[in-house]
């Protein structure tokens, strides 16, 4: 999720209007809602001091609004929090292990994401059971979905190509 989408998401969770949030961070009442709409739509990007001010009003960490850096520990955890918001995962602790649960019965995520996660789980299980090597597993991951054999993936033509084919078909029909 981009920063504007995160701001909108959390603002809505808090039950705030764009105008109220904009005024709370110091914008004049006349332009507060327009300015916040620009940030939420992505047409403008807030500078670091404004991100901190918005985070303060929303009562969240600035990291909860920013696009996380998955190479840092805090960025990684905030990435997981965003995935929880978007796709409905949850963390569960069982003994000394922590599991991320993508609940297929709730279908809070797109069907294709659940299917891809299922394919990943299948390959991971094959690796654990010794049915495939680490090299085969890595090859599967780094070429996904091109060489995934657990399901069928179709490449969708670009809109331009699709439009061209539709026009050619229409022209062919007119000739008949």
Could you read off the pLDDT of 8-60 as tens digits, one per residue? 989 998 999 999 999 999 999 999 999 999 999 999 999 999 999 999 999 99
Both 62 and 123 in one domain: the answer is no
Residue given tokens 């918001």 in the structure block: 85
Both 63 and 114 in one domain: the answer is no
CATH number, residue 35: 1.10.260.40
Instruction: Answer yes or no: is 146 within a domain.
Output: yes
pTM (2 decimals)? Answer: 0.61
Instruction: Answer yes or no: is 79 within a domain.
Output: no
Q: How far apart are CA 30 and CA 3, in angstroms?
A: 24
Cα three-residue angle 103-83-40, rounded to 5 degrees = 135
pLDDT at position 111 over 80? no
Task: Count the domains in the chain.
Answer: 2
Instruction: Answer yes or no: is 97 within a domain.
Output: no
Both 175 and 114 in one domain: the answer is yes
Residue-number span of the structural domain to which 161 is assigned: 110-176
Instruction: Answer yes or no: is 159 within a domain.
Output: yes
Instruction: Please tell me what DSSP assigns to residue 14.
Output: T
Instruction: Answer yes or no: is 89 within a domain.
Output: no
């Amino acid at each position: 999720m981009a920063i504007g989408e995160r701001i909108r998401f959390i603002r809505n969770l808090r039950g705030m209007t764009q105008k109220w949030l904009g005024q709370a961070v110091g914008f004049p009442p006349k332009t507060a809602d327009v300015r916040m709409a620009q940030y939420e739509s992505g047409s403008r990007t807030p500078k670091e001091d404004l991100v901190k001010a918005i985070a303060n009003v929303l009562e969240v960490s600035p990291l909860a609004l920013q696009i996380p850096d998955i190479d840092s520990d805090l960025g990684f955890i905030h990435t997981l929090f965003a995935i929880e918001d978007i796709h409905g995962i949850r963390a569960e602790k069982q003994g000394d292990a922590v599991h991320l649960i993508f609940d297929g019965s709730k279908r809070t995520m797109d069907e294709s994401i659940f299917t891809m996660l299922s394919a990943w789980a299948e390959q991971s299980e094959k690796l654990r059971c010794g049915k495939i090597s680490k090299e085969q597993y890595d090859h599967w991951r780094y070429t996904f979905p091109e060489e995934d054999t657990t399901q069928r993936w179709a490449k969708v033509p670009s809109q331009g190509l699709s439009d061209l084919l539709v026009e050619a078909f229409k022209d062919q029909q007119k000739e008949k």
